[in-house]
Structure 1
Amino acid sequence: MQATPINPWNWSLNLGYSQAVSVVGASRQVICSGQTSVNGEGAPQHPGDMRAQIALSLDNLEAVLKAAGMDFSSVIRLGVYATDVDEALKNFDLFGARFGPVNNTPPMTLLGVTRLAMPSLMFEIEATAAD
């Protein structure tokens, strides 16, 4: 698979995402459900701590990708939901720490929501990956 970022402007690269990605030659797509800050039994973790919730959500996404034989370099789209967009954006360096080493800036949408499935959750991330 060849994923080519499309960026008519560079400003989004400074925020860690591309405007679009052209995917050629993908033989498989994996669509991941929203990953949140829950442990292996599905119990919410880190109430009130956006940074810790983002970190665990990314850990959980990484585990799902690994189970599919993929990693963050395979991600071609992200959907992000946060109950406090400003607080989430303060912690987006965590995305750079995960996606930067694999040189991937997938297209991303960040939406503010009033709540998630479990009231103590503040952050959720879904992904589409391809190889």
Structure 2
Amino acid sequence: MEKTIINPWQWQDKRSYVQAVEVKHVESTLYISGQTAINPDGISSNEDMKSQLIQALQNLEQVISEAGYECKDIVRLNIYTTSTAELWPHFDIFQDWIAKHDIKQSLTLLEVKSLFETLKVELEATVVK
């Protein structure tokens, strides 16, 4: 697989994403459903944004790993949240996770009216190898 990062500017670097990722010679692609703070028994979290973000990242990482992929090969990540105001104070958790895995992904962040049950944040990813 060959990945090329396209960044006409530098300002996005501080926000932990890239403007575009071109991928050539892909062996396979994994499209991951939105991962949230749902525990192994299928119970939605009613914890705060920070706790839910941490659990959603852990769940995303588990799905990627069990599928035989690596987090560093995420090329697209969408974040859905019920409150960007609640998410911003904890955005460093997301940025640290991105840096830990050396991920260079395109990114969209959307504030939505609601998510499933009591959930506050959802992460949807595309991973290649």
TM-score range, shorter chain: over 0.9
Aligned match of 1:121: 119
Q: Counterpart of 2:5 in structure 1: which amino acid?
A: P
Structure 2 matches for 1:48-127, cutoff 5 A?
48-118=47-117, 120-127=118-125
% same residue: 36
Letter in 2 for 1:127: A
* Unaligned ranges ≥5, structure 2: none
Could you tell me how far apart the structure 2 residues matched to 1:92 and 1:3 are?
Answer: 26
Matched to 2:121, the amino acid is F
Letter in 1 for 2:124: E
SS of 1:129's equivalent? strand
Q: How far is the alpha carbon of 1:96 from its aligned partner?
A: 2.1
Q: Provide the rounded CA distance (Å) in 2 between the counterparts of 1:42 and 1:115.
A: 18
Which letter maps to 1:28?
S
- Deviation sequence 1:40-86 (CA, Å, 0-9, x none): 011012x2410110110000000100111112101000011000012
| AA at the equivalent of 2:122 | E
Runs of 4+ in 1 over 2 A off after TM superposition: none
- Report the secondary structure of 1:91's partner residue: helix
- How far is the alpha carbon of 1:89 from its aligned partner? 2.3
Q: How far did residue 91 of structure 1 move? A: 1.3
Residue 36 in structure 1 maps to residue 32 in structure 2: no
- TM-score, length of structure 1 as denominator length: 0.93
TM-score computed with the length of structure 2 as normaliser: 0.94
What's the Cα RMSD here?
Answer: 1.1
- Describe the superposition over 1:8-43 as per-residue Cα deviations: whole angstroms up to 9, x where unpaired: 011111000001101111110000000000100110
Instruction: Supply the AA of the counterpart residue of 1:111.
Output: L
5+ unaligned residues in a row in structure 1: which ranges? none
Residue identity in the other structure for 1:84: S
